[in-house]
């Protein structure tokens, strides 16, 4: 038993066993999930930020990456392989890390749009390539938001009494398509973020809660703006 966000969570001993008699009110219980895919996403976002041109990085180049590493390292130490019941403080630390990456990328995007709308052809190709990196970071950071917020986060999803889902995945509607109890993993949220960034709307996974709809709507608007401005500038530079 563990406490997350002030709630007592009863963690399943064998979530993949369909005959264990335990069931969640909304979807199946998630087994302990590896932190490494999310950690890899954070690492890629950090590398992209470091490689951005100086004009797109507010303040000292390595200040924000160092701050993000300070937040990331305790999370990895606390759960080096699989996510296990953690304190509210650790979840707050995880959300703070995602918010910091999101804020840094948002500032870089604003600076990029400013330079591209000014016109001028100097270092135009460099800025377009930076726009691609910023867009990729958007995909990563929104996948982290979805992963951390759905049903209260990856730890809460291990509980029998986790909250209602924020997203409706196809496997939740059609459990017969899997041969075992299915629950979303980080790659599912990464795919959700990628498709929403390219289609600007839900594809196979539908948002259910108000916060999920706001997040997906915000991501679609930001992605559309980024692609439109960077794409238009790229055409102008390359022609």
Tell me: the pLDDT tens digits for 35-91? 889 889 999 999 999 888 888 887 777 888 888 888 888 887 777 666 666 555 678
Give yes or no for a contact between 194 and 77, defined as CB atoms under 8 angstroms apart. Answer: no
- How far is Cα 95 from Cα 50, in angstroms, rounded to an integer? 21
How high is the pLDDT of residue 239?
Answer: 56
41 vs 13, which has greater pLDDT?
41
pLDDT higher than threshold 60 for residue 3 = no
> Region 141-169: what's the mean pLDDT?
86
> Region 140-151: what's the mean pLDDT?
93
Residue 28: both structure tokens together: 């199946």
């Amino acid at each position: 038993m563990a406490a997350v966000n002030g709630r007592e969570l009863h963690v399943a001993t064998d979530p993949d066993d369909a005959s264990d008699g335990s069931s969640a009110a909304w979807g199946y219980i998630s087994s302990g999930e590896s932190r490494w895919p999310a950690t890899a996403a954070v690492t890629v976002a950090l590398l992209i930020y470091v490689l951005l041109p100086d004009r797109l990085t507010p303040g000292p180049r390595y200040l924000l990456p160092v701050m993000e590493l300070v937040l990331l390292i305790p999370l990895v130490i606390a759960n080096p392989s699989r996510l296990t019941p953690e304190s509210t403080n650790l979840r707050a630390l995880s959300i703070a890390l995602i918010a910091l990456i999101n804020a840094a990328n948002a500032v870089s995007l604003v600076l990029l749009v400013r330079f591209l709308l000014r016109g001028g052809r100097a270092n135009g190709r460099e800025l377009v390539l930076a726009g691609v990196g910023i867009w990729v970071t958007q995909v990563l950071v929104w996948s982290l938001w979805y992963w951390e917020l759905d049903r209260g986060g990856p730890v809460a999803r291990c509980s029998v009494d986790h909250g209602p889902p924020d997203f409706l995945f196809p496997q939740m509607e059609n459990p017969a398509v899997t041969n075992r109890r299915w629950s979303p993993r980080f790659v599912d949220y990464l795919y959700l973020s990628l498709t929403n960034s390219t289609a600007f709307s839900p594809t196979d996974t539908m948002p259910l809660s108000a916060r999920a709809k706001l997040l997906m709507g915000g991501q679609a608007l930001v992605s559309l703006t980024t692609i439109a401005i960077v794409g238009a500038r790229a055409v102008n530079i390359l022609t």
